[in-house]
Structure 1
């Protein structure tokens, strides 16, 4: 099938490449020519394991191309995916939908055949209904159907999550063409047993934000319990393992630490709260305010731990290992690691950061921090070493080798990922 994907960022580039991998002819659309030039050359402008190979293979085989022309996109296909960003509004909790609105306003008047628009972006409930009204005003003697097909990608596993998802969700109007088109697009996945869950538009929009809100709640729950464990002298890791063996609870997302970040969970739960308030259901999601609050407190708590370990932050040399919000990604949006590094610097510490893949993004966001080219270089002369992103190379660091270059012997495990016995045996004081 011929299709377009609007947006060449993380979601759009991944979806375009993976739809081509499924055998479709895909045209990626974006107004940023610099971004398109990189993609056309087979260069993914962000770190996502496995995606460069999929991108280059499908470009070479002629199934994937890119353009900045909406006219070309409108003429190319009758199926259009919208995968642009929906960031948090500045100074507000709500989502900024201007990028989606811009696609609708520019694309729909150019359509000369009946078409189906599949929304992939995470949006507040009611967005698809609003866009349906807008599309009906803009369409010129053609039937353009708006449906919603939310994504459930994990950064670091986006290719697998697109090509082998655990479910497909489609929000559509009764009697429309979207379900038939979706079944054609995802035919090979459906044959492999992936369920296609067909809902109304509002439900499909809520599935995505509800899933993210639940995952965020699990993380903040275990971090709240970690505060109690710390006060009581209990072991949060053992507790997490014990309750995680209950199949009703599950072990995933029960890792205590400095909390969640990235471009999805923080802004999505805030937008969810904002939209609930607009609908008059703000009391239903008051728990998410505490979820967000617990998450932010973890960062402050890490600064307190470093201050207690160092005696003072003024003049202390701190090595921060990790900048991305999670391993397997170069995403530093709302990164707990960089937030902690910035707080430490504001409190008088000399902070040096190293991350294997997120250095360029970190420098753009926090240009005043110092950066190193390796973990060992970051640790040179450090009074305290912080592991704030659980990259495998940090987990497997040799404590004795770090001792040879560091000045102090404080290792602070912000992700509960290190072997405490190994570090203490090498003469380090372990904090978590």
Structure 2
């Protein structure tokens, strides 16, 4: 005979409510910075007793810290101050790009605590080798986080190309097709940590995660709808609508680098002709400026130096790329009407030479005629807008949605 006084449905309902309230209290403390239990109770609309119970659980989970004394502002005992813990849970972001791997650890405050980047050309390298290398670098960062009393609770991969369900469906610049990146990486990392326990591994397109980093940490102010364009070897894009990522029916929205500018243009690795990437990707920019595309990041630094010195060929290569970008961006602006267009990756430092020609096309082609109605909406990304940080922060945002799920087991 079942003697339980609580039905399974009621129990599930109770657990769901507590999960919601734990998240609510944690997010409130994070937003306030420093706050007393009494103040949290007044902000979230729960009783002080309920908030105290939730706070105790969050302290036990390592999500909050409590210290010091502060006046309550009224008669009675002063309250202790709650803050989000700078030790305890941390998220890892692992950006795997064409010619580098970057691993970043972020704590619950959103602070970048550890970062390691290694430059190596992944073109032609078997995916398992690339992912194993990323796992080794990740394991080094995990060791560094322990030295700061941080506990990594999850990993998010930032990957180029079409990413869905943990699989890179297609990444032309890497030569990857149907690579089960999450599984391969997770297995490689688990082998390096036989006694450390398996860490949850997620994944997303690197441009999506860079856009989220810009939204969460950048200088967008109140802007909640924007188009993000990022340049590396390839050209990626993401669209944030009212604070939410637009993913499309299959999760592949934002592949703006493969929008065709000229059907008779150069052959792209994706198989089409005249994609934006063939005019504004890193190799195209360097070749047009007379710089060896094989120089990679060093080549972009040289391109910037030449443009700053007034080198005609460098300036022209950037103006032409900006013009092609403006044509494509104008189509996206007409379709989605974003508040801003943000240029990240290599475009951030090249913005002074891309902006004029891109802005000219946007001004001409945006049909509303409102491109400059409230000032220029084309802007460079902040230093905060990188994919590794966005990936790590996503782990922390997921923890804040359900803190108890990340308890030490």
TM-score (norm 1): 0.28
The structure with the greater share of residues assigned to strand is 2
* TM-score, with structure 2 as normaliser: 0.29
